[in-house]
């Protein structure tokens, strides 16, 4: 199979869909890899490294999209990229379709086979291709939040860990999954007081057993969230209902409960955000203020630490990329976990939560592939 890796074009997105080591593995399985010139240069992954791995360098995204049987990317295709996709072409990348009707319409129109990293599952009920970036974003959420709490950034002027004689800040993490646990670990490491809310009692039990009295765990209800907002200095939005638009857990009215200069970091923004007042921002302009509360809502946080993230992402995606390259769409039929990644095929929406949230007819993935 001919595999194409274009340069990412989203704002300040320096990740690339495949490392040179990943390219070498695919070439070793008998495939051809073409990479867009300078695709990884910003993070030290030079064209020479890709060539050494057996890949070929091509000049333009147009050539990659025109020639490749499978496109491997990081971020959801931008409109200009959607327009270059074609029937029968495989697209393997993050999509986050539920909050993105324009992209969904573009993929449906293209006729391509679009597999979303974020809905591929594993045997333990996890999301193995979302997890590495959630680890990154969870860890970054605390450093982003700590920075936003500084006075010059509009924040209340609070140091997360306090100092001897001055109390530490209160960090509230809503959603104790992969983002949440990584955020909590960083916040604990900085000596903040940490509270984690989740809807899964099993997850709360796990967090309690792991961290004991270093965290407070609470069952997530509207009441619990309201109580915690009154004293939180930094709130991390880290909930997920796989594939679906994020539930709105903090309304604009509830911002009035918070202390002025407190910070909301909405990591769930890529699924539409879990605060009513969230709107996606970029690494260039990451924050804005609503009613005295600072909002950080960058939808591609791991792009900020693109080198670490690129390696972490390829580590997770490569085994699936090899299967797709070896077997094409048969790889989806052979592996129910990879099949869960199929969101759009030949003009049909094949992920139920996306179809429901955006008003498309839902066609089960296996039916669409066999039909």
Ligand X SMILES: NC(=O)C1=CN([C@@H]2O[C@H](COP(=O)(O)OP(=O)(O)OC[C@H]3O[C@@H](n4cnc5c(N)ncnc54)[C@H](O)[C@@H]3O)[C@@H](O)[C@H]2O)C=CC1
Other Cβ atoms within 10 Å of 267 Cβ, number? 32
Q: Is 92 in the site for ligand PYR (CB under 6 A)?
A: no
Residues 167, 161: Cα–Cα separation, whole Å: 8
Q: Which does 100 bind (CB under 5 to 8 A by kind): ligand PYR, ligand X, Mg ion, none?
A: Mg ion
Residue nearest to ligand PYR (CB): 133
Q: Which is nearer to ligand PYR, 77 or 302 (CB)?
A: 302
Q: How many positions of this chain bind ligand X (CB under 6 A)?
A: 36
The answer to whether residues 65 and 81 touch, using CB atoms and an 8 Å cutoff, is yes
Pick the binder of Mg ion from 8, 47, 100, 135 (CB under 5 A): 100
Block residue for tokens 């004991």: 212
Tell me: does residue 47 bind ligand X (CB under 6 A).
no
Binding-site member from 143, 153, 191, 200 for ligand X (CB under 6 A) = 200
Q: Which of 31, 47, 96, 233 is catalytic?
A: 96
161 binds, among ligand X, Mg ion, ligand PYR, none (CB under 5 to 8 A by kind): none
Question: By CB under 6 A, is residue 14 in contact with ligand PYR?
Answer: no
Distance of closest approach, residue 231 Cβ to ligand X, in angstroms: 18
Stretch of residues binding ligand X (CB under 6 A), selected from 132-140, 207-215, 316-324, 329-337:
132-140
- Residue 264 as a binder of ligand X (CB under 6 A): the answer is no
d(CA 155, CA 260): 8
Stretch near ligand X under the rule CB under 6 A, chosen from 73-81, 245-253, 314-322, 345-353: 245-253
Is 96 a residue of the active site?
Answer: yes
How far, in Å, CA of 169 to CA of 150, rounded? 12
| Residue 234 near ligand PYR by CB under 6 A | no
Contacts of 300 (CB under 8 A, 6+ apart): 10, 11, 12, 13, 75, 270, 283
Residue pair 179/239 in contact (Cβ under 8 Å)? The answer is no
From the list 70-78, 230-238, 241-249, 336-344, the region that binds Mg ion by CB under 5 A is: 70-78
Q: Binding residue per annotation — 110? A: no
Cβ pair 68, 4 in contact under 8 A: yes
Question: Would you say 290 and 262 are in contact if contact means Cβ atoms under 8 Å apart?
Answer: no
Minimum Å gap between C-beta 183 and ligand X is: 9
Q: How far apart are CA 322 and CA 327, in angstroms?
A: 9
The dihedrals phi and psi of 204, each to the nearest 5 degrees, come to -65, -40
Binding residue for ligand PYR, selected from 133, 169, 312, 339, defined by CB under 6 A: 133
Q: By the 8 A CB rule, do 264 and 237 touch?
A: yes
| CB contact at 8 A, 136 and 371 | no
Backbone angles phi, psi at 76, to 5 degrees: -55, 145
Residue 299 beta carbon to ligand X: minimum distance, rounded to whole angstroms = 5
From the list ligand X, ligand PYR, Mg ion, none, partner contacted by residue 247 (C-beta under 5 to 8 A by kind): ligand X
> 335 Cβ partners below 8 Å, 6+ apart?
323
From candidates 146, 160, 269, 368, binder to ligand X by CB under 6 A: 269
Rg of the chain over Cα atoms, rounded to whole angstroms, equals 21
238 binds, among Mg ion, ligand X, ligand PYR, none (CB under 5 to 8 A by kind): ligand X
Interatomic CA distance for residues 42 and 38, integer angstroms: 8
Assigned token pair, 269: 């923004």
**Binding site listing:** 15, 75, 134, 198, 203, 220, 239-240, 267-270, 279, 298-301
> Applying CB under 6 A, which residues contact ligand X?
118, 127, 130, 133-134, 137, 174-180, 197-200, 203, 220, 238-241, 246-247, 249, 267-271, 298-302
Query: Active-site residue numbers?
Result: 96, 270
């Amino acid at each position: 199979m001919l595999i194409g890796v274009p340069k990412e074009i989203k704002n300040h997105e320096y990740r690339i869909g495949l490392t040179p080591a990943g390219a070498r593995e695919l070439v070793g399985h008998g495939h051809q890899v073409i990479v867009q010139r300078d695709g990884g240069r910003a993070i030290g992954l030079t064209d020479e490294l890709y060539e050494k791995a057996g890949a070929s360098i091509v000049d333009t995204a147009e050539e990659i999209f025109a020639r490749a049987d499978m496109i491997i990317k990081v971020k959801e295709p931008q409109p200009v990229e959607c327009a270059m996709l074609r029937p029968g072409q495989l697209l393997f990348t993050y999509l986050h379709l539920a909050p993105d009707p324009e992209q969904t319409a573009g993929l449906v129109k293209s006729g391509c086979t679009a597999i979303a990293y974020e809905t591929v599952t594993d045997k333990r009920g996890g999301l193995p291709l979302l997890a590495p970036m959630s680890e990154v974003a969870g860890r970054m959420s605390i450093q982003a939040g700590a920075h936003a709490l500084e006075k010059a950034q509009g924040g209340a002027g609070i140091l997360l860990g306090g100092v001897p004689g001055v109390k530490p800040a209160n960090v509230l993490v809503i959603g104790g999954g992969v983002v949440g646990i990584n955020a909590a670990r960083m916040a604990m490491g900085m000596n903040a007081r940490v509270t984690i809310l989740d809807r899964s009692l099993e997850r709360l039990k796990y967090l309690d057993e792991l961290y004991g009295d270093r965290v407070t765990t609470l069952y997530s209800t509207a009441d619990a969230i309201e109580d915690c907002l009154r004293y939180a200095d930094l709130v991390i939005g880290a909930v997920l209902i796989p594939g679906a638009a994020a539930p709105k857990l903090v309304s604009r009215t509830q911002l009035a409960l918070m202390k002025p200069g407190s910070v909301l970091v909405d990591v769930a923004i890529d699924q539409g955000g879990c605060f009513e007042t969230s709107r996606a921002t970029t690494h260039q302009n990451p924050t804005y203020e609503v009613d005295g509360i600072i909002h950080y809502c960058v939808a591609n946080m791991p792009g900020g630490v693109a080198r670490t993230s690129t390696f972490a992402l390829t580590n997770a995606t490569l085994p699936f990329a090899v299967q797709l390259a070896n077997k094409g769409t048969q790889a989806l039929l052979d592996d129910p976990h990879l099949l869960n990644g199929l969101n759009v095929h030949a003009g049909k929406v094949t992920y139920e939560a996306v179809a429901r949230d955006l008003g498309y007819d839902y066609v089960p993935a296996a039916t669409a592939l066999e039909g």
